Structure 1
């Protein structure tokens, strides 16, 4: 069993809720727990928000791509990609409290939040070319699904 979907939308703040809902609706066929669904929605929200705020500096002329896959055994893979400014130092960006935004407006916890809700987080980026965030979540299929 493998299912997948891919959508692309404008890098606008109001589309973050759309992306979160689209990912949740896609994985709903796996009958996830409320906790699993909330974790997926939160991870997607953080990744999409980072793309919009940091990848495009809130310039809505860019696009964000969201890909979701359901793999054998209940593994969910979510990819959020932008073609924005990229991240010069991914390791530094993954440190808690680090932000490229104004510190009075940003907590610098986006990657930390994603890591805490997902089983695996990978970040690939090149300055001037964009960023790809890949999140993996293993759903509990103990109910026989």
Structure 2
């Protein structure tokens, strides 16, 4: 079975919580483990926060989150139309940040990569960034049967 959702919101601090909760509710039918849910919510927070902080340094713009669920596979896309990333490979390096003034850790992409099965980043300066992530969830019914036996 396939399900989809789309959510757009202003690039404002605090709206990462909205995205986190929406995605958590969206995957609820899969009955994710607490660890799976925590990892997913953290990855969503990092992607959305990156868009809010880095894409729109002047604070004006929109972020969209799109999700597709096919069976146990979630595909998640976080998109902005902000300043873009000049060097995506550099931006994916641990501790790299364009906003040291905000005491950012520069670990957003590293965290996403650790918690998701795949992370792809497409960006063009002046045109925005698209972060595409996937995560396959454990099949809970067979996991539960194994624990009961």
**Shorter-chain-normalised TM-score: which range?**
over 0.9
Question: How big is the alpha-carbon RMSD for the aligned residues of Structure 1 and Structure 2?
Answer: 1.4
What's the CA shift string for 1:45-70, capped at 9, x where partnerless? 000000000011151x2000001111
Instruction: State the aligned residue count.
Output: 143
Aligned to 1:70: 69
Structure 2 unaligned blocks of 5 or more: 144-149
Q: What secondary structure sits across from 1:131 in the alignment?
A: strand
Aligned to 1:124: 122
Contact 2:31 2:140 in 1 (8 A): no
Moved over 3 A (4+): none
Aligned to 1:50: 50
Contact 1:12 1:58 in 2 (8 A): no
CA distance in 1, matches of 2:111, 2:95: 11
Aligned to 1:93: 91
How far did 1:102 drift? 1.2
Structure 1 unaligned blocks of 5 or more: none
Give the TM-score normalised by the residue count of structure 1.
0.94
What's the CA shift string for 1:50-102, capped at 9, x where partnerless? 0000011151x200000111113x00111100000000000000011111111
Contact 1:52 1:58 in 2 (8 A): no
Contact 1:54 1:100 in 2 (8 A): yes
CA radius of gyration, larger in: 2
Give the TM-score normalised by the residue count of structure 2.
0.92
Aligned equivalent of 1:140, options 135, 138, 141: 138
Mark the CA change 1:88 to 1:67 in structure 2 (over 3 Å): closer, same or farther: same
Q: What secondary structure sits across from 1:133 in the alignment?
A: strand
How far did 1:142 drift? 4.2
CA distance in 2, matches of 1:25, 1:31: 10
CA distance in 2, matches of 1:58, 1:39: 30
Contact 2:20 2:44 in 1 (8 A): yes
